[in-house]
Structure 1
Amino acid sequence: MIVFVVMLANLRGTGEAGWLFALPAYLFIICFLGAIAYGLVGLGLGDKPAPAIAPPPLHPAAQGATLWLLMHAFASGCTAMTGVEAVSNGMGSFRQPIMRNAYLTLTIIVVVLGLLLGGVATIASAYEIGAMDQTKEGYQSVLSQLLAVIAGHGAFYYIAMASLLSVLCLSANTSFVGFPRLCQMVAADGYLPKAFAQPGRRLVFTVGILFLSGSAALLLITFGGITDNLIPLFAIGAFLTFTISQAGMTQHWRRRSRRFGAKLTMNAVGAASTGAALVIILIAKFAEGAWITLVAVPVAIAVLKMIKSYYISLQRELRKPGPITLEDIEPPTVLVITEAWNRLSERAIKFALTISPDVVAVHFIRLGGPDREEGEKALREEWRVEVEEPIAALGLRPPRLMLIPAPYRQLHEPLLRLIEKLDADSPEKRVAVLIPETVKDRWWQKLLHMNRAGRLRTKLVKLGGPRLTVATVPWRLYREEQPAG
């Protein structure tokens, strides 16, 4: 439900999403900085005050501060620091002057993050607050225990926890802003489907938002909503991109200048530190789900390369043909699919005669079982009187009526055989197939029609040769008789 709400807010546009997500963030900062300040003042006045609600007792230490435990703590701490990069990813969303506003935003984020981490660590140590198992009954987060210790379970507690819940649920908005833009850039280079690069009606990248929403929902369902199990996936993805970007900038500065300047040194140190963090997270969180990224990343790279290869081959096949040639523009043989002589068939025949004088009306028989000779004779007589004679009277070549058996209800097979015969008899002429079709405006109209026209068109486009052209002649139900305007 929360993923669906975030998706709808972003589909409405980043302006609406920004206002929606800013209010809970401001409330969260005010509540928790205020609670931490109140708790620190109480600790600073002298003796430790008695907590409003005592935290659950801590379990005895199972092991000492080993290297493995420190690696786990470092991996979790690095994960908590991710998100700051959203400022650099969203530079296009800042107002002018962009750089000054970005610097100010990043400074505020770092200061608030430092105050929250320092305050939570101090109060948690003083009151012996520890993390609880998220899968066990009676689970409380560290921040929930901290608020209970400082203020109890009053109105302030529920307001602060509601703001925390809102921020945690809506913190995904940074991904909803950055991920579609990243997909747009990748799609523009041909490594993702072109739909990712096309903005929607409200100038947001709709396909990227929908893809991210579906992927997020699938991950939440797969991992049972336990965020601790999702943290390794997020951390590895974040630090992998950090390492690649820092290494790329290091290579950029090295090419521009052979000397080790301040910028090159800073990016080199950044690449080394984020790379070390990535390795530690992989080792420490491998059994907790980090192994998934070792499979997913190579598979994703392979898929991206396959998409790029497809677009390259498509561009090569559709390359510029050079000056236009007019040697093969003889009017084609036009086949008009005719179910019966009606107004839809009349429109298709009229249009066919504007394309070519060689028009053949194709009617399928035996669709409902054994052949009915009476129906065939009636159709032939009606065709002679209503079509052939009026057109011949105008001095034009009348369309022929051809009855094709289709006893197995597969319309495309006998029609493709007819097209092959026409190609063999007149190889210099192309073949065009006109398929009359009613346009269904209502869902119930689609249920009342068999959609044979749509299926036939799909089969002909897929199985027809390069010299075959397929077109639709539409009839708009209940709108054809309305006067223009």
Structure 2
Amino acid sequence: MSILDKVVGSALATEEEHGQRISAKTGVAVFGLDALSSAAYGPEAALTLLIPLGFLGSSYLLPITAVVILLLTIVFFSYRQTIDAYPNGGGSYSVAGANLGTTFGLLAGAALMIDYILNVAVGIAAGVGAIVSAVPALQSHMVALCVGILLLLAFLNLRGVKDTGVAFVLPTYWFVFALVALIVAGGWKILSSHGHVVPVVALPLPSAATLAVPGLWLVLKAFASGCTAMTGVEAVSNGVTAFQQPASNLAKRSLTIIIGVLIALLAGLAWLVHAYGVTATDPTAPGYQSVLSILLGAVAGRGTFYYFAMIGITLVLCLSANTSYADFPRLCRVMALDSFLPSVFRVRGRRLVYTHGIVALTVFAGALLIGFGGITDRLIPLFAVGAFLAFTLSQAGMVVHWWRRKKFAMASVNAIGAAATGMTVLIVMVAKFRDGAWITLILIPVLYALMVSIRLHYHRVAKNITTCAPLTVRSKEEPIVILPIDRWSRVSRKALSFAMRISSDVRAVHVDGCGSHTMLESQWPEVVEEPARVAGVPAPTLTTLHSPYRFVVHPVLKFVFEVERQNPDSLIAVVIPELVERRWYHHLLHNQRSAIIKATLFLRGTKRMMVINVPWYVERGDQEALAAAERSQATRGPRRPGVLAASTD
């Protein structure tokens, strides 16, 4: 078993794909972590914007949460219909592209890709924020913790969807149980004290109020931040094909569980925050605590349950990025099939996952975490724009889908969803523009333009190489073979022997930087010309190029292109002898001129030019074996060791 098998698991055959599909219960863990975990950071994102209100901030969370829940309910019914209409996966890209046109499909795809990348960064940053709340001494190591968790997630996802889902089931239900227990315990205390609840652990003092009454602008900004609690609800509709049969029914069941639990958690937490008077703390200030950490301390103290719940919350926040790992590679695959992304994103790896998508997501999310210091509130302003733009385009596409089929009642459900999310995306863009949403608004059209250019490139290549013409069979036409050679060796002898097999017109070219008669020129008559004469074949010519400035690559390339220019009706084959070491670090000990010449010819060559590698593999014990063989040949004839065989072997 190879090291790769031990690390990511043994390779899976394509026929084993059905065994990798998941149940509705596992689907909650695979596709619901993003949505469920947003209950932990969505309310805090809104409360952070309400810090200027001091104690009054907590009282405004209830109406904001109520509006978010209303939006969530509308989107839930809309996406249930999307699953029915697109049982093979109804992501925003597919739905918008099929019903609104390619332009809107690409906008939805670009927005969704950015949303998935941000979701990874925000989820991990929120998880690390929870860790720092419990262990403040780790605050200076936030970026390192973020990157470590990111790499762990990438590793788990490279093992495959089923293995990932099984690994995440326990943390998901742990998180849900902990928050439900918190809400039940806190609710019981509120009711039993008739609303005059006393925190077990004193709440941190809120910042001094700078506003007595919130303005509309502040409320809109808080609502825009609170809307991050809705991100991730589209994940199930994107990944319908990951479920066991009947896939649509299981997907809808998972979506119902996810949305139902999320609504209950958001409502319960908003109630507790209001009743206990919890306010947010500045995440950049010393002694920062997350809202959930404060709430847990207020309800249950800092005992066993606090740490039990914080561990569950931390796990899910860190693992919530897995929703993006489940969906981002699938989205990249679909877009690559349409030639809007590089074709490598179509290819499944050894564990039937789209490895290149996983790696790309890891790289981009890692750059965000490092660039923004792993702090959630710096990332939140970038977050919701992409998600709600994708929501809006998907729902608008579904309106067209049902309208074409004369199902006006179903179209009205999606129309309400499109209107609601469309208004929300405008609010988010305006409210969060200066805080960072402008970055997302620039990235979406840039990504759109990049994808269009990729497709144009693929179309240009296809037009250039596609043909229905039959094979052209001609009499043997020998190419002119050019062989760059630095000295006479086993490597060059093998390359020259091969060149003489394919053509009688072989032209060796040697670069001399000393300006004197070279050793190769002295050896050439004996080691090449005489064996060729004995065999009765044309002898390869040797051209020595003098290079007073000791350049090697440029003179060789100039010679090749000059031969091509002088022979417009001939094929040109450049044979590159290359020494190949088994160990990569040995390769570093040799010059890379062969690779440079080869790469340049690939880039600057023409349709009449071919580049042929002739490798010489350096094996342990080669010297002794080859020397013995040459001594044996020497006893059978006058040829000296190293002389080109007359048979051109």
* TM-score normalized by the length of structure 1: 0.92
After superposition, the Cα gap between the structure-2 partners of 1:479 and 1:333, relative to the gap in structure 1 and judged at 3 Å, is farther
Contact 2:198/2:276, CA 8 A, preserved across alignment:
no
Letter in 2 for 1:311: Y
Q: 2:402 aligns with which of 249, 253, 271?
A: 253
Tell me the equivalent position of 1:390.
531
Task: Tell me, yes or no, if structure 1 residue 187 matches structure 2 residue 336.
Answer: yes
CA apart distance, 1:224: 2.1
Q: Does 1:54 align with 2:202?
A: yes
- Please name the residue that 1:280 is paired with: 427
Q: Post-superposition shift, 1:428? A: 2.7
Letter in 2 for 1:310: H
Q: Which of residues 168, 173, 195 is equivalent to 1:21?
A: 168
Q: Which of these residues, 352, 372, 390, is aligned with residue 499 of structure 2?
A: 352
Where does residue 211 of structure 1 map in the other structure? Answer: 360
CA distance in 2, matches of 1:186, 1:338: 46
Q: Is the 8 A contact 2:381 2:437 kept in 1?
A: yes
Higher deviation after alignment, 173-182 or 287-296? 287-296
Match of 2:302 in 1: 153
**Conservation of the 8 A alpha-carbon contact between 2:483 and 2:576:** yes
- Tell whether the 8 Å contact from 1:328 to 1:428 is kept in structure 2 after alignment: no
CA shift, 1:193, in A, is 1.3
Residues 417, 71 of structure 1: alpha-carbon distance in 2 compared, 3 angstrom cutoff: closer
- Aligned equivalents of 2:218 and 2:570: distance in 1? 78
Is 1:68 aligned to 2:206, yes or no? Answer: no
Q: Extract unaligned runs of 5+ from structure 1.
A: none
Q: Distance in 1 between matches of 2:606 and 2:264?
A: 70
User: How far did 1:276 drift?
Assistant: 0.7
Aligned to 1:428: 569
- Matching residue of 2:96: none
Q: Does 1:202 align with 2:351?
A: yes
Alpha-carbon spacing, 1:326–1:422, altered in 2? closer, same or farther (3 Å):
farther
Tell me if 1:437 matches 2:578.
yes
**Which moves more between the two structures, 328-337 or 271-280?**
328-337
Match of 1:320 in 2: 467
Alpha-carbon deviations, 1:189-211, whole Å to 9, x = none? Answer: 11111122222232222222122
Deviation at 1:425, TM superposition (A): 4.4
- Among 175, 192, 196, which residue is 1:45 paired with? 192
Match of 2:605 among 456, 464, 482: 464
More helix by share: 2
Measured in 1, the distance between the counterparts of 2:348 and 2:566 equals 49
Distance 1:187 1:150, change over 3 A: same
Residue correspondence of structure 1 range 106-121 to structure 2 within 5 A: 106-121=255-270
1:372 pairs with one of 498, 516, 522: 516
Identify the residue that residue 337 of structure 1 maps to in structure 2.
484
Superposed displacement of residue 404, structure 1: 1.9
Q: Which residue of 2 aligns with 1:300?
A: 447
State the AA in 1 paired with 2:236: V
Distance in 1 between residues matched to 2:482 and 2:263, nearest whole Å: 75
Residue type of the alignment partner of 1:390 = P
After superposition, where does 1:86-125 map in structure 2 within 5 Å?
86-125=235-274
The answer (yes or no) to whether the contact 2:156–2:164 under 8 Å persists in 1 is yes
Matched, 1:240 2:389: yes
1:142 aligns with 2:142: no
The residue type equivalent to 1:287 in the other structure is R
1:455 aligns with 2:587: no
Going from structure 1 to structure 2, the CA distance change for 1:208 and 1:424 (only over 3 Å counts) comes to: closer
Distance between the aligned counterparts of 2:565 and 2:342, measured in 1? 39
- Aligned partner letter, 1:244: L
- 2:481 and 2:505 in contact (8 A); partners too: yes
Q: Is the alpha carbon distance of 1:129 and 1:421 closer, same or farther for their aligned partners in structure 2, counting shifts above 3 Å?
A: closer
SS of equivalent to 1:289: helix
Q: CA deviation at 1:65?
A: 4.7
1:375-394 CA distance string (max 9 Å, x none):
x2x43343222222222212
Amino acid of the structure 1 residue aligned with 2:203: P
Distance 1:113 1:458, change over 3 A: same
Please report how far the alpha carbon of residue 413 of structure 1 lies from its aligned counterpart in structure 2 after TM superposition.
2.9
Check whether the contact 1:411–1:456 (CA below 8 A) recurs between aligned residues: no
* Structure 2 residue ranges without an equivalent (≥5): 1-147, 627-649
Q: Deviations over 1:30-74 (max 9, x none)?
A: 122112212222222344453221212445472425432332233
Alignment partners' CA distance in 2, 1:57 and 1:386: 91
Contact 1:412–1:460, Cα closer than 8 Å, also in 2: no
Aligned partner of residue 577 in structure 2, secondary structure: strand
Q: Is contact 2:582–2:619 with CA below 8 Å preserved after alignment?
A: no
% identity of equivalent residues: 44
Question: Which of 309, 317, 330 matches 1:168?
Answer: 317
CA distance in 1, matches of 2:573, 2:344: 30
TM-score, structure 2 normalization? 0.69
Sort the Cα spacing of 1:480 and 1:308 in 2 relative to 1 into closer, same or farther, 3 A: farther
More divergent stretch after superposition (32-41 vs 408-417): 408-417
Is this contact kept in 2: 1:412–1:459, CA < 8 A?
no
Distance 1:63 1:290, change over 3 A: farther
Could you tell me which residue of structure 2 aligns to residue 80 of structure 1?
A: 229
Q: Distance in 2 between matches of 1:383 and 1:21?
A: 69
Alpha-carbon RMSD = 2.2
2:633 aligned partner? none
